[in-house]
Amino acid sequence: WRILKRYCMKSIIVESAITNHYPLNSCIMNSLRSLLVIVALFISMLACQHAIDKKMLLGEWKGAQWLIEGQTADYDATSTFFSFQDDGTYTYRYTDMEEKGKYFVSRDELITTPDGGIKMMVRIEKLTSDSLVMNMNRGGTSETLTLVR
């Protein structure tokens, strides 16, 4: 605002000396108009966060890479399997453990609720026809799981 005020005040001095009118209102209105355009663009970018197409998520996925804090994890990513069904159910398998439940997608979030368990959320970083990258947070530790078809 100080810069805007300084700019407008310089404009007043110059224009009032030449034309004998005070363009402060016009200067403020132009600056506010520019500010509103910037705010509107920012809001529209937030509102248009890449929404995930649930249909692309459907089907079988196999683990390819598991990172913890950007480093290769001790988990065997290739022993990880996900299956997402059109009816909103999923199956997750890791080695000999299996979990089934319900899921839904909201913007870039995958929310799962295991049967008899509590709701969990992971962020879908990338989803293409042949790869799925999920970002998770386990107790403050960042994990990234990459799955492929």
* AA letter at 113: T
Per-residue model confidence as pLDDT tens digits over 119-145? 999 999 999 999 999 999 988 999 999
Structure tokens at 131: 């790869």
Per-residue model confidence as pLDDT tens digits over 27-56? 666 666 766 667 666 555 545 556 778 899
Contact yes or no for 144/131 (Cβ under 8 A): no
Per cent of the chain over pLDDT 70 is 66
Residue 106's closest CA among 57, 43, 65, 45? 57
CA–CA separation, 106 vs 141, rounded Å? 23
What backbone torsions phi and psi does residue 47 show, to the nearest 5 degrees? Answer: -70, -25
- Evaluate if residue 92 carries a pLDDT over 80: yes
Q: What is the pLDDT of residue 54?
A: 84
Tell me if the pTM is above 0.85.
no
* AA letter at 98: E
